[in-house]
Amino acid sequence: MAWPKGQGKGEAQRFTVRLDPDTATFYRRKAKEGGVNISEFLRKTLHEGVIAENIQDVEDRLRTLVSTAPAAAQARHEGIPDDLALSLVTCEALLTAIVEKQDPQVLYRAQEAAKVRVRKRRGA
């Protein structure tokens, strides 16, 4: 379904993607199940992929910071280093804003899963 002119969406650019017949059928079926046209389904899927990739990058950076935090904290005789605390709070706020905009239930499930992982790591 093309965007009608004058709908305020701006000019759209086309991208041609070649898919084998089975893959094309799969994506068309998924779009139909979602109640959207194939273009909207593919836009959403690409968008979610970029978000997932960015989240993975953030998680990797946080793992690196967390792995170095105990030594830094011992050397300074204090808690979590300021840069780590700022990174954690910033990431939480950023991811919360992104996920709440998409689907608040995803945020709540992620928070519950995180609480379980923290309890497990602490041996509780």
Would you state the pLDDT for residue 106?
74
Q: Tell me if 13 is assigned to some domain.
A: no
Higher pLDDT among residues 76 and 28, named by residue: 28
Question: Structural domain of residue 86, as residue ranges?
Answer: 21-121
Q: Tell me if 48 is assigned to some domain.
A: yes
d(CA 66, CA 17) in angstroms, rounded, equals: 40
Sign of CA dihedral 31, 35, 38, 40: negative
Q: Tell me if 99 is assigned to some domain.
A: yes
Q: Tell me if 111 is assigned to some domain.
A: yes
Are the beta carbons of 110 and 99 closer than 8 angstroms? Answer: yes
User: CA nearest 66: which of 88, 40, 36, 48?
Assistant: 88
State the average pLDDT over residues 23-28: 91
Q: Which two tokens stand for residue 11?
A: 């000019």
Q: Tell me if 3 is assigned to some domain.
A: no
Q: What is the DSSP letter of 78?
A: S
pLDDT classification of 73: cutoffs 50, 70, 90? low
pLDDT at 77 over 60: no
Give how many domains the chain has, as a whole number.
Answer: 1
Q: Tell me if 12 is assigned to some domain.
A: no
pTM of the model: 0.44
pLDDT at 9 over 70: no
pLDDT at 1 over 50: no
Q: Tell me if 51 is assigned to some domain.
A: yes
